[in-house]
Amino acid sequence: MSVIERLKNFEMEDTKVLEAERVAEGYFRGEDGNLHEELPVFYRVKLQMTPGEGSLIFTEVWLPEEWNGIFLAIGGGGMAASIDYWSLARRVREHYAVANTDMGTSRGRKCGISNPDVWKDFGWRATHLMAPAGKGLVEACYGKAPDYSYFMGNSTGGQQALCEAQRFPKDYDGITAGVPGNNRTHLHTYFLWNHLHLRTADGKKMFSKEEIAAITDCAVEFFQARKDGEPGDNFISFPTAEPDTIAAFLNLLAEKRPDFKAEQLDALHAVYSGPVNPVTGERIYCGMPLGSECYECCGIEEFEQEESPHFYPFIWAFGENYNGRMFDFDKDLDALNEKLAGDLNANDPDLSAFCAHGGKLLIYSGSADPCVPFPDAIRYYERVLGQGGGYESVSDYCRYYLFPGRDHIDRGNGTNAIWADEKGGDELTALRRWREEHIAPDRMLAVRCQAHAPNGIAFIRPVYPYGSAEYAKNPSAPAACADRYVQRGNK
């Protein structure tokens, strides 16, 4: 039986092979319309999965003829809703057998309205099913199981990553969780909080582009005066958000920009402080990091749009016509968590089963990310440390890194590349070395690639795991923040 026949005959419960083809070396145009170049010969398999009555999941698995023995699953972003052909192409060039799923949302956000099957698919089921499907197709193609299986994802992909480590600890041997949106119901409540505060009462934008840029410039100046980062940096390495710090910055901003109105400064205070429950005073989520205001993904400009970014969980829970201005940050938050948190959130700090499996987990954030602010990831990791017996024990299988000045999508002024070491490689390189060679990543490198810099590199700086002795030596790095981030509903 030929490879194509074996792939077409692949069987898994609630799964149908829609297409299996051999793609010639060279070019491939994905269903996203983009042309991907310099690809090796590979087998492309398209799957449809319907594990529930309201489910419709599409997954693709790409299998290069010249295979390196590794199965790699890739996470999505935002609401997913499509296959990430760019990531599939990148990794198949490196000879990985690679998979990606649309997470069951390709029909658009309305498909999740009052549809618990979509909540399950998006929250955990589509991601989990990708593992046995991918591994099964690997065996059908090559006649053997993968030597190792890995998952890597950012943002929503980071949520998927932590979901896998928590719920399905035997699916993967190693996982990277970048800028993880795992506390999803509270994260989207943060989005809504910012949106409501960054539009005026009559529905206009609170700040112009020029004003947003000025805020970030002032924030950098403020932290430079406090000796944050390296002299001359045009980003903030480690912004802190104590009430006194926020107040001092806003005082400086008012001095620099006397044209700013009181309502603008009040809006910024709310955004930096983060959402709170108006009845109990409990913190719902952390605030936007100082210095991240001007960045593209969920910076101030995006929060000022007519609808709150990534509004789909509210539509799913409360109906198609739900208006964010109706949201009660007390009662409606409880209702949102009751409906969606069990499927969409990945907040369990108990990683003991993943550790017992021999798994390795790398978590990381950027200090200038306004989309998934780093303090929430720190708070999650602190809970992992508490559950697992402290850094010395947990660091054997899980480490967290905070990269200076990195925004959500590597387009900011700080870190825009992560290297495993001075020879290059990325977070997957570091993960594989840790799992396969037992060489723990005692440090990683924050890199700024810049076209006009010497050798194309503006800086290379070491980043040490949170909680390590080396991390503690940096006086400006954020310290433990558990007292500031006691959040309801993050279990």
Structure tokens at 179: 């800028």
The yes-or-no verdict on residue 489 having pLDDT over 80 is no
Residue 262 forms part of a structural domain: yes
Asked if residue 168 is part of any domain, the answer here is: yes
Q: How confident is the model at residue 184 (pLDDT cuts 50, 70, 90)?
A: very high
Q: Are residues 450 and 477 in the same domain?
A: yes
Give yes or no: residues 191 and 333 share one domain.
yes
pLDDT at 229: 85
Cβ neighbours around 435 below 10 Å, total: 19
**pLDDT for residue 388:** 98
Q: What is the pTM of this model?
A: 0.96
What integer pLDDT is reported at residue 201 of this predicted model? 81
Find residue 418's DSSP bridge partners: 446
Both 21 and 166 in one domain: the answer is yes
What pLDDT sits at residue 485?
A: 38
Question: Would 247 be classed as within a structural domain?
Answer: yes
Q: What is the pLDDT of residues 227-279, one digit of tens each?
A: 888 899 999 999 989 999 999 999 999 999 999 999 999 999 999 999 999 99
Q: Is residue 489 part of a domain?
A: no
Q: What is the 3-state secondary structure (H, E, C) of the chain?
A: CCHHHHHHCCCECCEEEEEEEEECCEEEECCCCCEEEEECCEEEEEEEECCCCCCCEEEEEEEECCCCCEEEEECCCCCCCCCCHHHHHHHHHCCCEEEEECCCCCCCHHHHCCCHHHHHHHHHHHHHHHHHHHHHHHHHHHCCCCCEEEEEEECHHHHHHHHHHHHCCCCCCEEEEECCCCCHHHHHHHHHHHHHHCECCCCCECCCHHHHHHHHHHHHHHHHHCCCCCCCCCCCCCCCCCHHHHHHHHHHHHHHCCCCCHHHHHHHHHHHHCCECCCCCCECCCCCCCCCCCCCCCCHHHHCCCCCCCCHHHHHHHCCCCCHHHCCCCHHHHHHHHHHHHHHCCCCCCCHHHHHCCCEEEEEEECCCCCCCHHHHHHHHHHHHHHHCCHHHHCCCEEEEEECCCCCCCCCCCCCEEECECCECCHHHHHHHHHHHCCCCCCEEEEEECCCCHHHEEEEEEECCCCCHHHHCCCCCCCCCHHHCCECCCC
What mean pLDDT is reported for the chain? 95
Domain end among 343, 367, 387: 343
End-of-domain residue from the set 289, 316, 343: 343
Judge whether 99 lies within some domain: yes
Q: Of 343, 369, 393, which closes a domain?
A: 343
The per-residue pLDDT for 26 is 94
Examine the domain organization and report whether 243 and 128 are in the same domain: no
Whether residue 491 is contained in a domain is answered as no
Domain range for 42: 3-183+345-484
> Is residue 337 located within the same domain as residue 350?
no
Same domain flag for 172 and 196 = no
- Residues 372 and 478 both lie in one domain: yes
| Residue 391 pLDDT greater than 50, yes or no | yes
Both 316 and 401 in one domain: the answer is: no
Q: Is residue 490 part of a domain?
A: no
pLDDT of 383 over the 90 cut: yes
> Which CATH number do you get for residue 13?
3.40.50.1820
Q: Are residues 220 and 157 in the same domain?
A: no
pLDDT reported for residue 474? 83
Is residue 207 domain-shared with residue 315, that is, in the same domain? yes
Q: What is the tens place of the pLDDT at every residue in 157-180?
A: 999 999 999 999 999 999 999 999
Q: Is the pLDDT of residue 372 over 70?
A: yes
What is the spatial distance between Cα 184 and Cα 182, in angstroms, rounded to a whole number?
Answer: 5
φ, ψ of residue 247 to 5 degrees: the values are -60, -45
pLDDT band at 203 (very low <50, low <70, confident <90, very high): confident
pLDDT at position 202, please? 87
Same domain (yes/no): 22, 171: yes
Structural domain includes residue 355: yes
pLDDT tens track for 4-34: 999 999 999 999 999 999 999 999 998 889 9
How many Å is the Cα radius of gyration of the chain?
Answer: 22
Q: Is the pLDDT of residue 205 over 80?
A: yes
Give residue 487's pLDDT. Answer: 44
- pLDDT exceeds cutoff 70 at 282: yes
Q: What's the pLDDT at 296?
A: 87
Is residue 276 located within the same domain as residue 199?
A: yes
What total of structural domains would you count in the chain? 2
